[in-house]
Structure 1
């Protein structure tokens, strides 16, 4: 089950029209939010989290859905196609600079900025003692 529904995406977030793919994009975006947050949301009921965290997760999910809409869907982004370097005949194109993180290319930059203040992006070890 996704972190948002179609009403939230259309009426509150007011995202770009996803057409018939909206429900599928919501599910894929919710799965990606789980990946990015190292599945911290899966251990508890969503409603148990503070309202600020719920709000940020919903916004991040909607932002990811919109990212899918404007970038050809999750299939296109997850395909891992790399067009940073290619050649056609004598023409060559190179994006240059450091290699981009492939994971980052799949995720809307807005997702990271929305989730950062929640602490859910922390990947370190938590001392339980």
Structure 2
């Protein structure tokens, strides 16, 4: 299930540059990537609705940012195939799509919207530490 609806997306970014029929595919794929980079903690906890409202809002915004990233970078196929930022040549002119990173990013890193990562970092869902009996952890840490 997607973490964002078309209506929520339109509120954040306006009408998408894809058809209304294509939006669920983009939202579903974006949600799958969100699940992957959060180590499926949302699913393991029982779904997004078990989290505090702020976490739900940040996950929805991250999903919307990922959909926008797909759209801005040539579509799902381009992003997921690792071709994002590959550059292109027109005649004698070559445009290097690697940008300031100098090509240091892997194809997997280029699949994820930097804004989505920034938003998800605020939720605690991307933590890589080992669970412990820390009383200062958010209450949803113990759910996975």
**So what's the TM-score if we normalise by structure 2?**
0.74
Q: Say if 2:82 and 2:108, in contact at 8 Å, map to a contact too.
A: no
Runs of 4+ in 1 over 6 A off after TM superposition: 90-94
Q: Say if 2:30 and 2:63, in contact at 8 Å, map to a contact too.
A: yes
Aligned twin of 1:118:
123
Structure 1: how far apart are the matches of 2:93 and 2:52?
54
Aligned residues: 127
SS in 2 for 1:118: coil
Structure 2: how far apart are the matches of 1:16 and 1:107?
21
Aligned twin of 1:28:
29
Task: Tell me whether 1:107 sits opposite 2:112 in the alignment.
Answer: yes
**So what's the TM-score if we normalise by structure 1?**
0.82
In the TM superposition, residue 45 of structure 1 has moved relative to its aligned partner by 2.6
Q: Say if 1:15 and 1:62, in contact at 8 Å, map to a contact too.
A: no
Structure 1: how far apart are the matches of 2:108 and 2:131?
24
Q: Say if 1:16 and 1:69, in contact at 8 Å, map to a contact too.
A: no
Aligned twin of 2:8:
8
In the TM superposition, residue 91 of structure 1 has moved relative to its aligned partner by 8.6
Structure 2: how far apart are the matches of 1:35 and 1:121?
10
Aligned twin of 2:55:
53
Is there any run of 5+ residues in structure 1 with no aligned partner, and where? none
